[in-house]
Amino acid sequence: MLSSTTHGRTRALLRKVDLLVLDELGFVPLPASGAELLFDVVSDRYERGSIVLTTNLPFEEWISVLASEALVHAMLDRLTHHVHILEMNGQSYRLAYSLAKARDNPKTRA
């Protein structure tokens, strides 16, 4: 856990960046304290700075990651107010790359 001084400095820094990228939200569930810190960061940036957030989870499954329905609703309220949602469905580019590489390299085939 961050000390209150470090926490305050980190939040101040995150308020100042032009673009904050939150990648793979939901890959690992957050403890309640982590979810609250994430909410603080999103709230600090609300209408002040851009956020790019990636996730494989639909909104209705965020409760499994953020542990509080009220917190999920409050965060989504802020995140979706001025938003462009890009929904991407398709094959993983990492998997496609690995399969093509294996196909093109006979040494990697069994």
pLDDT in tens, 64-104: 999 899 999 999 999 999 999 998 888 888 888 988 998 88
- Determine the Cα angle at 2 with ends 27 and 50, to 5°: 55
Q: What is the pLDDT of residue 89?
A: 84
pLDDT score, position 2: 63
pLDDT surpassing 90 at residue 7: no
In contact, 65 and 57? CB cutoff 8 Å: yes
pLDDT at 108 over 80: no
Task: Give the per-residue pLDDT at 109.
Answer: 52
**For position 40, what pLDDT does the model report?**
95
Note the pTM of the prediction, 2 decimals: 0.78
CA 98 to chain centroid:
25
| Total domains, the chain | 1
Mean pLDDT rounded to a whole number for the chain: 90
Q: What is the DSSP string of 35-93?
A: HHHHHHHHHHHTTTSEEEEEESS-GGGTHHHHS-HHHHHHHHHHHTTT-------S--H
Arithmetic mean of pLDDT, 15-27: 94
Range of the structural domain that residue 63 is part of: 4-108
CATH code for the domain in which residue 23 is found: 3.40.50.300
Question: What is the reported pLDDT for 39?
Answer: 96
CB atoms within 10 A of CB 1: 9
Could you tell me which of 66, 71, 26, 20 has the C-alpha nearest to residue 46?
20
Residue 84 burial (CB count, 10 A): 5
Calculate mean pLDDT across residues 38-44.
Answer: 95
- So what's the pLDDT on residue 52? 96
